[in-house]
A and B are shown apart, each in its own frame.
Chain A
Amino acid sequence: MSTTVSPIALPAAAAAVTPGYWSQVLRRLLRDPVSVLCLVVLAAIVCGAVFAPWLAPGDPTVGSVIKRLKPVGTPGHLLGTDELGRDMLTRLLYGGRVSLLMGTVPVALALLIGGALGMVAGFAGGRVNAVIMRATDVLFAFPSVLLAVAIAGALGAGVGNTLLALTIVLIPPILRVAESATTQVRALDFIEAARATGADDFTILRVHVFSNVIGPVFVYATSLLSVAIIMAAGLSFIGLGAKPPTPEWGLMLNTLRNALYSQPLLAALPGVLIFAVSLCFNLLADGLRSAMEVR
């Protein structure tokens, strides 16, 4: 039990509850074969990216002019080489670092910012709600990909700017889900009962609203991971994301597109990984949703 600075701090309540429910969810999730398969595939890809320096057979940026566009299965280059003679396996492993980062970090940031703003908007209601939600609607008016392209284009290429652009694009949908979930919870009697104890808004929001809103918002954010991965790859593909020597799946897909006729399998490899990761995130989100549904 942590010592409380103010009487409103309730770490005990929050800590005692969350594991109970979430461990139940985890147990149910692990009983679903599809979710387990997705978890295994994702874990393999993430491990490959994290341990790339030790796993990769070569250097991702050093190529050889005489060994360009070798097919898959070439001795010494298990997955062939790219248009500059760089080892594909190495580049795919390293590419996962940037691609996964650009897919997950914006979702995490948007979950933090959008979730908090949505809860405040839903809980406060009235004018605060109107200001936050109408501002969100402005962002919503643009198609998300177009908005990401516009922001990334205005800020210039680079991984950091892509992260920022994707975060801005992902905030509105998460904010909306958080707002509507909060609005539903706010009307329930237990919020009024909490008010009747004399708890202030922040405590009610933290203890009573958060515990009920985080579920649906988290599931929704998981489903956005696949969208973010694809958008990040897309931005890199059109030259607004990672810059050339950096190994990144979307960028690799672009530079290899000239080889599509000569080495179709090779050219498709980064795309296969983007597809696999995004599919796994999507199926995992579905599995999580059904695991959380049971009361």
Chain B
Amino acid sequence: MSAVMQEAAPQGAAAMVEVEGLRKQFRVRGAGFGAPAKVVHAVSGVSFSLQAGQTLGIVGESGCGKSTLARLLMGLIPADDGRVSIAGANLSQDAASLKALRRRMQMVFQDSFASLNPRLTIEDAIMFGPRVHGVPPDEARARCHRLLERVGLDPARFAGRYPHEVSGGQRQRVNIARALALQPQVVLFDESVSALDKSVEIQVLNLLRDLKEEFGLTYLFISHDLNVVQYISDVVMVMYLGKVVEIGPAEVLYERPAHPYTRALLASMPSMDPQRRTLQAPISGDPPSPIDPPSGCRFRTRCPHAAPVCGEREPALVDAQSGGARAACHLLDTASGHPLAGKELS
């Protein structure tokens, strides 16, 4: 797989998904009577671009803004600031253009049961999207049956069933068929395989790979499971407290992680090889609250290499010396003033 990054692509070549400075804050009521409202910084300036046909894996701990990012990308919640464009078209909150854009990008949710209406049969659930977009009933039904067959469910047996009458893995296949029913170019998976059994998970992942080839899809794959992300992604983006800390080609990022947080995350990934022992201490504790994120580098409170400069200035995404990845850490910038900057860390 070629390491296609935004800088690797020639300027002007349209990316399938382009995100610039995306920002979202939520207001929450303070604790106690009359307490001032607090602001949760869920997504704070996320930018990336993704070429057609690639898979971007988005990883991070719970609460790092992955799901908020998904909802922002889908236009389900309005962004405070920033720009999302899909296949060159801007995602705006204007209803008509939003509806047209919906067809290009679809989403598969984590909870396979909650994301299907319990009162609709599988067939009706899949047909809903195409019908909304004016596809005649017969054609929508035919498309639904083709897709059910494609995701490995016999339409004759499954079309008339209700969601509670099929297993979790089958339900997630239904959700995939539903997402594909609108013939999108981009599909976003928000922890879509996390709730499945390991054996079912790999079947679904292989199905996703096949579907991507067959329909020429571009994937955004959100997960907390580093193994799954490594398996399916071309490019991986690591998020921490609403910010991108590192983004790069999967093989580079997994081999030579540049950011201390990425290293810690990878260190906490259990290896299948007993000879390959974890040398670095896995990350400890919980991430700080996104209500009051640390100044400067948001990871500094848990970073083993934190220096005074980390609390003063926020690191920008820079090319890591180790390869094609880009990471936001003062250690990588010799001009940052960090005492260990530019030095090889153990």
Contacts and interface: CB of A to CB of B under 8 A. Distances in A.
Contacts of B127: 12-13
A279 interface: no
Nearest to A16: B124
B263 interface: no
Interface centre among B123, B124, B182 (most CB of A within 10 A): B124
A230 B277 CA distance: 77
B261 interface: no
A195 interface: yes
Nearest to A213: B119
B115 A190 contact: yes
Contacts of A197: 102, 106, 128-129, 132-133, 182
A12 B137 contact: yes
Contacts of B115: 188-190, 192-193
B157 to A, nearest CB: 15
Contacts of B116: 190, 193
B162 to A, nearest CB: 8
A192 B71 CA distance: 9
Given A17-B119, A211-B120, A194 B128 contact: yes
Given A192-B109, A193-B109, A198-B103, A212 B118 contact: yes
A20 B121 contact: yes
Nearest to A8: B132
Nearest to B181: A197
Interface centre among B99, B119, B137, B138 (most CB of A within 10 A): B119
A196 interface: yes
Given A17-B119, A20-B121, A212-B119, A7 B107 contact: no
Interface string A58-97: 0000000000000000000000000000000000000000
A203 interface: yes
Contact of B99 (A21, A193, A194, A198): A198
Contacts of B111: 189
Nearest to B132: A199
A178 to B, nearest CB: 16
Interface in A1-27: 1, 7-8, 10, 12-13, 16-17, 20-21
B291 interface: no
Contacts of B125: 190
Given A189-B109, A195-B76, A196-B107, A207 B118 contact: no
Contacts, number: 93
Interface residues of B, number: 39
Contacts of A198: 98-100, 102-103, 129, 132-133
Given A192-B76, A195-B76, A197-B182, A13 B98 contact: no
Interface centre among A12, A20, A197 (most CB of B within 10 A): A197
Interface string B20-36: 00000000000000000
Interface in A155-193: 188-190, 192-193
A134 interface: no
A193 B164 CA distance: 18
Main DSSP-derived SS at the A contact region: helix
Contact of A7 (B114, B134, B164): B134
Contacts of A16: 121, 123-124
A208 interface: yes
Interface string B66-92: 000001001010000000000000000
Contact of A196 (B76, B134, B164): B76
A295 B164 contact: yes
Contacts of A190: 114-117, 125
Contacts of B175: 193
B173 interface: no
B109 A13 contact: no
B131 A196 contact: no
Interface string B121-153: 101110111011110011000000000000000
A10 B106 contact: no
A193 B137 contact: no
B189 to A, nearest CB: 13
Nearest to A7: B134
A207 B134 contact: no
Contacts of B160: 20
B298 interface: no
A293 to B, nearest CB: 13
B74 A196 contact: yes
A209 to B, nearest CB: 9
A196 B103 CA distance: 9
B118 A295 contact: yes
A192 B114 CA distance: 10
B259 interface: no
B178 interface: yes
A222 to B, nearest CB: 19
Given A193-B178, A197-B182, A17 B137 contact: no
A7 B120 contact: no
A207 B125 CA distance: 10
Interface string A79-118: 0000000000000000000000000000000000000000
Interface of A: 1, 7-8, 10, 12-13, 16-17, 20-21, 188-190, 192-200, 203, 207-208, 211-212, 295
Closest 4 CB pairs of A and B: A7-B134, A198-B102, A197-B129, A211-B119
Given A190-B117, A193-B178, A200-B95, 12 more contacts: A8-B132, A12-B124, A13-B128, A17-B119, A21-B119, A189-B115, A190-B116, A192-B76, A192-B109, A196-B107, A197-B128, A198-B100
11 contacts: A1-B137, A13-B124, A13-B128, A13-B131, A190-B114, A192-B76, A194-B117, A197-B102, A197-B128, A197-B129, A211-B119
